[in-house]
Amino acid sequence: MRRGFKAEAERQAEKARTEMGKRPSDHVDALDLATHVGAIVRRADELTSRERLQTLEEIQPGAFSACTFTIGDQHIIVYNPISSPGRTQSDIAHEVSHVVLMHEMKTVETIAGLAFFTCDAEEEQEANWLAGCLLLPRRLLYLAVRRGMRAPDIAEQYNVSEQMAAFRLRTTGVLRQLGASGE
Ligand SMILES: [Zn+2]
């Protein structure tokens, strides 16, 4: 990732939360983030059958999480309803991040008869990173750890996967800063 991107991502996340009228410890739902950036969110089973999504998942697990279509200047985020709620939150936040970062979807891939648009690898990394910041900004993690919360508590309270909570705790250095153990 380019120099300065991580700090910029934290700032973008804080800015979005402030604009949404959220306090530092508030839970922010990925669907609300999507609305905030002006995107429409649709479940993929509104566009294709649930059976087809299930077949795709069997052929290539995790092949389709979410994607964004842009028609005119309207962004439409489509997510896979088969995924777990925590996973859905990060998938939608990932797509919101592409919108925030004004990434252009370029590549079209076809898997099991469904077309997917993807960004280049660098942009995918940026979107993943910003998604983590949007759902669990550093300030929120700092306050949570200070209250004695750890990854499982954070995952439950903020409706994210435990892996996401653990990843963010590790990469933000919050545990280290507060001299807390990860257990
Ligand atoms: Zn992406």
Which residue, among 89, 95, 88, has the nearest Cα to 39 in the 3D structure?
A: 95
pLDDT digits (tens, 9 = 90+) for 125-177: 999 999 999 999 999 999 999 999 999 999 999 999 999 999 999 999 999 99
Q: Which residues contact 65 (CB under 8 A, 6 or more apart)?
A: 79, 80, 83, 87, 91, 94
Cα–ligand 1 centroid distance for 152 (angstroms): 26
Amino acid letter for position 76: I
Cα–ligand 1 centroid distance for 176 (angstroms): 30
Cα–ligand 1 centroid distance for 99 (angstroms): 10
Cα–ligand 1 centroid distance for 95 (angstroms): 6
Question: Does residue 110 have a pLDDT over 80?
Answer: no
Structure tokens belonging to residue 155: 């995952």
Q: What are phi and psi of 90, to 5 degrees?
A: -70, -35
pTM of the model: 0.90
Cα–ligand 1 centroid distance for 70 (angstroms): 14
pLDDT in the model for residue 114:
66
Cα–ligand 1 centroid distance for 147 (angstroms): 33
**Percent of the chain's residues with pLDDT above 70:** 92
Cα–ligand 1 centroid distance for 146 (angstroms): 33
Cα–ligand 1 centroid distance for 148 (angstroms): 33
pLDDT in the model for residue 167:
96
pLDDT: which is higher, 104 or 95:
95
Residues within 5 A (CB) of ion ligand 1: 124, 127
As a whole number, mean pLDDT of residues 48-76 equals 86
Least confident range of 20-34, 52-66, 108-122, 127-141: 108-122
